[in-house]
Amino acid sequence: MRIPVNTASHSYDVVLGNGILSEALQSYNEMIDNADRLIVLTDEHVWNAHYLYFQKNFRKPFDVFIMPAGESCKSFENYINVQTFLLEKQCTRKSFIFAFGGGAVGDLAGFVAATFMRGIPFIQIPTTILAHDSAVGGKTAINHPQGKNMIGAFYQPQAVIYDTYLLATLNKKEIRSGMAEVIKHALISNKDWFNDLMQLSITDLNSQSLVEHLKMGIEVKATIVAEDETEQSVRKYLNFGHTYGHAIEAAAGYGGISHGEAVMIGTVYALLLSNRYGSISRDFIKQFLKFASDNGYPFDQVSKFTFEQLTPYLVKDKKVEYGILNFVLLKDIGEPFVQAIELSECKVIDQQFRDLIEEVCK
């Protein structure tokens, strides 16, 4: 199936299905055949797991650069290493990049594509559930020691080829991480869909059910990105759960906790704020926290950091304006909005969150 993504700068499709890599690549033959160099950027775990499948279905000569796995591939050092590799391979503005991996590979590869010779085309080939979110919409970035995704660009791919055959090797931690973004998409868009997800053991979905939930998540993101490509308004809603989540993720050291696990922690924090500013009930928050805890999300991570340790990362959030934090909250499920929150109030909610974790998860 094809899901269109129509942005102001560029329109393209997300091609979604099982075992579709060869057929999908062939549908872009004209574009690919015009390239003078084909470069595949991947990481060591993905390449070890899938290189035979990739080589079987990618029937053109290419050069591959294998990067460190996880968030470490989004470092300045690796970014420079990739740029050096492209120069050594005599790549030009006619060269073409393929991002073959999870969210970190896609973020790094997209930023490389956006900046090499001021921009060359690339295609996303995601290999994780998490990347159903990160591969769509053109956000590309690398990390800075003081904050996640601080250096980047909005740069749309030519296509996203999402072959769910590649998801079969994911472990439960990776499935949990990816499904956090699916749950986020449901929370900001559709109460019935969210209620369906709440009935599931999210690490035990069959492939057909998983594809359907991924399709719905991609459609939510595509709709929002079409309205606001560069995050001036409604695209901020996609950051639900990310402000506090990014702080936890950064404090733990990138890779210490998965992105999706951090987002789920941040989601409960955002729901507590939504109880103050919207109509989200405390009972609902308790039920949701129990659901998330039962599905293995590591809320014990919160107790490893004081609020004061999280504060430097909170105030570096990209939604901070004139020193005020802006959180995405919910009036109700499917009704997101942005609310300015003082740091002193963040501290109060942080303590409420810690107390709730003690009550529900112990």
Q: With CA atoms as reference, report the closest residue to 253 among 70, 107, 76.
A: 70
- Can 221 be counted among the known catalytic residues? yes
- Can 231 be counted among the known catalytic residues? yes
How buried is 198 (Cβ within 10 angstroms: 0-12 exposed, 13-18 middle, 19+ buried)? middle
- Can 149 be counted among the known catalytic residues? no
Adjacent-strand bridge partners of 139: 154
Instruction: Check 45, 74, 132, 139 and give the catalytic one.
Output: 139
CA–CA separation, 109 and 178 (whole Å): 19
CA–CA separation, 124 and 113 (whole Å): 11
Instruction: Check 221, 229, 236, 261 and give the catalytic one.
Output: 221
Instruction: Check 71, 231, 249, 261 and give the catalytic one.
Output: 231
Instruction: Check 184, 213, 236, 246 and give the catalytic one.
Output: 246
- Can 10 be counted among the known catalytic residues? no
Instruction: Check 57, 78, 143, 239 and give the catalytic one.
Output: 239
Contacts of 219 (CB under 8 A, 6+ apart): 3
How buried is 303 (Cβ within 10 angstroms: 0-12 exposed, 13-18 middle, 19+ buried)? exposed
- Can 139 be counted among the known catalytic residues? yes
- Can 181 be counted among the known catalytic residues? yes
C-beta separation of 319 from 236 below 8 A:
yes
Instruction: Check 176, 185, 235, 236 and give the catalytic one.
Output: 235
DSSP state of 114: H
- Can 242 be counted among the known catalytic residues? yes
Could you list the active site residues?
118, 139, 181, 221, 231, 235, 239, 242, 246, 259
